[in-house]
A and B are shown apart, each in its own frame.
Chain A
Amino acid sequence: MPDRYRTLTAFVSCAAPAALIVIVLTLLQQAAPAITHYGPAFLVRSAWNPVTLDFGALPYIYGTVLTSAFAIAIALPVGLAVSLFLAEPGAQGIRGAIGTGIELLAAIPSVVYGIWALYVLAPFSLHNLETPVTQHLGFIGFVSGPPRQTSFFTASLVLAIMVLPTLSAVSRDVIRAVPRGLRESSLALGATWWETTWRVVLPTARAGIFGATILALGRALGETIAVTMVIGNRDDIPRSIFSPGYTLASKIANEFSEATGSLYPSALVELGLVLILVTLTVNLIALLLVRSTQARMAA
């Protein structure tokens, strides 16, 4: 007898894969006018003029990649430290409480990070980080002045805070999955805690930690509102990280509801299409990495 219950539930469970496919296809269809009109050059040109309908995505791709990469560079050491702290045995009460605190960091809505970053973090970073750095190291183009409150740098800082929970929670699970025998053998041979961690635990968990980092990168790439509030909205590729800029997501957030005609909104949807395709690919790679590490260590 065919299992009707199984067929029915299997049918309902189509929803998630179907949603994924339909979303990508819809965006593809909506972006079609811009794709056919501008061709692949859209991705490598630097232009945004709704009056002459001259569009190119390069500044936004640059901004998205720069802010996300910088955010990961800040979040990785901190997140790794947190995950090592959380994965250690003993004192489970305090570790549990701190773990909950870090996870609550993930629950705070993006827009709340945005308003906090705009009114608290941005002035702080201008006075205490950006200004001293530009004064002393301003001769290096990448950190040259004038410093601004709304900048790639501020956006990266808030992104780093926002991806920290993902990074540390996934790394913690991977580090916890490292077989106890390995750790104990190393300690029994007389290695210190740090030598065990650095030469045994971290190398074993390497692929999984890499996966966690990429997962966090995916979050950072797609983050919209908090970045939109502090990125500064400048259609350009500035030399310095302390300059205002733009990201793919914030360009869409700021302009889509005001875009008229057919090519202008379509170009914005193409930005969204680039964003979702990159994010989904990054996520897929990360998931496969994390899973293969956990499966290998379980074996």
Chain B
Amino acid sequence: MNRTLWRRFKSNTALTAIYALTGLALVPLGLVLWYTILKGVPAVSHPEFFLNVERPVGIPGSGISHAIVGTATMVGLASLVAIPVGVISGIYMAEYGHARWATWVRLSSDVLVGAPSIALGLFAYAVLVVPLHHYSALSASAALSILMLPVVIRTTESAVGLIPGGLRESGLALGLPRWRVSLQLILPAAAPGVITGCLLAVARAAGETAPLLFTAFGNPLWSIDPTHAMSALPLIVFRDALTPYQELQDQAWGAALVLVSMVLVINLASRWVLRRQIRLAGQL
């Protein structure tokens, strides 16, 4: 009897510990969000913050409009390459997944997800900054597109994989060629899942700092020319947070708040889209 009680006690203690540790794991999420809002709100509550460009310390009215535009430009350019290439690769792997080549693509994209982003920055520097002799937003986009590629590939593959085989077979039975079946039948059905992958990739790219340090480099002025240095939100956070000036630190927190809100909104939106996809695929 005593022994049974002891075993039950041990089990309940372990269960409590697991609940407690799970709670502990959520603490940082809460704290990061809380402090980012707490310290970021004073900076973002001035409209100039979204309208002006950076001003030197001591001059009021500094803003980060150029960094928001810079992030949008660079991520947009990266998406132009990464999304089509990633979606087509993903379709290939879902359609011909048993081919030996597909196994290699799958493995290499899984490995590529884990490649350190700073190394991608070094690569883009060697390939695009050195030959052009100056920093450019274009080189940053190249690094970001490599970062986005594996995310798009793997989510496209799993979204297309969710589509029941019956749909493909009905298309083929009607005499449609394979490419029309996969592009006009399967892809539209899998669209929400594919969009999820693209959104996740965009969110990931928008938050990356390391590949931008020596490619986009940063720029205190307004610039939308992708062949020149450009600012980005993560660069503002990184550089301003490490300065001793209170104003710049506040600006860094403000930029961090903008960045976090952007990334979390994209993430939650992608979850919502994905849930629709799963429901839709169930109805097919």
A residues lining the B interface (CB < 8 Å): 3-6, 9-10, 12-17, 19-20, 22-23, 26-27, 29-30, 77-79, 81-82, 84-86, 98, 100-102, 104-105, 107-116, 118-120, 161, 164, 168, 192-195, 197-198, 215, 218-219, 221-225, 229, 249, 252-253, 256-257, 269, 272-273, 275-276, 279-280, 282-284, 287
Contact = CB atoms under 8 A, between A and B. Distances in A.
A112 B237 CA distance: 8
Contact of B256 (A10, A111, A193): A111
B210 A195 contact: no
A272 B118 contact: yes
27 contacts: A5-B177, A5-B178, A14-B105, A19-B112, A20-B112, A23-B146, A27-B122, A27-B126, A100-B271, A108-B32, A109-B208, A109-B234, A112-B259, A112-B260, A114-B241, A115-B253, A118-B241, A192-B7, A195-B7, A215-B114, A222-B119, A249-B210, A257-B217, A272-B116, A275-B118, A275-B119, A283-B111
Nearest to B116: A222
B185 to A, nearest CB: 13
Contacts of A26: 123, 126-127
Given A16-B109, A19-B149, A256 B116 contact: no
B126 A15 contact: no
B33 to A, nearest CB: 8
A272 B143 CA distance: 15
Contacts of B149: 15-16, 19
Interface string B54-85: 00000000000000000000000000000001
Contacts of B86: 15
Ranked 10 nearest A-B pairs via Cβ:
A109-B207, A222-B116, A81-B21, A192-B11, A9-B92, A13-B89, A194-B11, A5-B179, A283-B114, A224-B210
Interface in B1-36: 7-8, 10-11, 13-15, 17-19, 21-22, 24-26, 28-29, 31-32, 35-36
A279 B25 contact: no
Contacts of A256: 122, 125, 213-214
Given A9-B89, A27-B122, A219 B217 contact: no
Interface in B38-52: 39
Given A10-B92, A222-B115, A275-B119, A82 B22 contact: yes
Contacts of A279: 114-116, 119
A290 to B, nearest CB: 10
A63 B252 CA distance: 27
Interface of B: 7-8, 10-11, 13-15, 17-19, 21-22, 24-26, 28-29, 31-32, 35-36, 39, 85-86, 88-89, 91-93, 95-96, 99, 101-102, 104-105, 107-120, 122-123, 125-127, 146, 149-150, 153, 177-179, 182, 203-204, 206-210, 213-214, 217, 234, 237-238, 241-242, 249, 252-253, 256, 259-260, 263-264, 267, 271
B267 A27 contact: no
A120 B31 contact: yes
Given A17-B108, A26-B127, A257-B214, A112 B115 contact: no
Contacts of A3: 178
